Structures are given as C-alpha cells and as structure tokens.
Amino acid sequence: MESGHVFTPPDGHPIEPATFTRHLQALLRRAGLRQIRFHNLHHSTAVLLLDQGVELLVINEILSHTHIDATATVYAHVRLRLQCDAIDLLSRTLGQTSEAVIEPDDGDDPPLCAAPVR
C-alpha cells in the first residue's frame, strides 16, 4: 500500500506516535543515552544546521514551520550565540592582520594594513 509515509509498519499505515516513542526510548536506553522526546531531535537538527551556517529560510523549510517568524523566534538564542562567535572570529582575524604587518616585508605583496580614510 502506497501511503506517502517514509516509515510504516508492514500494513502501510502510519506509525502510532506512542509506538514510535516506545521504540525511541528503547533505543536510547540501549545506547546509554538520556531519555528525550522525539521533538528534541527536531530541535537538535535545527541547532546543528544553524551551527553549520545553514540559512534560516532553509531550516524553516526542513522543520516545516508555517512561518519563518516561528523559526527565528525559537532559535534566536542560537543565532545570537553565532553572531557573538562571528564577531569574535572577526576580532581575532583583525588582530592577526595587524600582527602580520610587523613581519618583514619582501616588497612583492601589497601591505596587509589599512590606511586611514580622510
């Protein structure tokens, strides 16, 4: 029977949520992991994708949220952390650039420092 579902029991009908939860909990116990709700996997997917730089619009589509506002609101704390990480990276990069200028220059490459704009 073609139902359009990815995973089904042999009869092709949707998996009952309680059955799915029972199987998930059994797998977590066998793996020695803490018990979580299936929705936690949904949340973890979004956080991991954000950490990898996937655009919020793409994550919104993967999560099947109706509006991107829901995705942006729920994961705002992750986006804020990523923004802080980006600023720290920029700061380290700029710090490395200024240190590189101190090294001897063989004259072949343009200088790595910025001139003041007036």
Backbone CA torsion sign across 101, 105, 110, 116? positive
Average confidence score pLDDT of the chain? 78
d(CA 99, CA 118): 24
- pLDDT > 80? residue 116: no
Q: Tens of pLDDT along 81-109?
A: 878 888 888 888 888 654 444 444 455 55
pLDDT at position 93, please?
87
d(CA 2, CA 10): 11
Closest CA to 80 of 102, 57, 47: 47
> Locate tokens 């359009």: which residue?
4
- pLDDT > 60? residue 29: yes
For the ranges 1-15, 48-62, 104-118, the maximum mean pLDDT occurs at 48-62
* Residue 53, CB-side half-sphere exposure with 13 Å CA sphere: 2
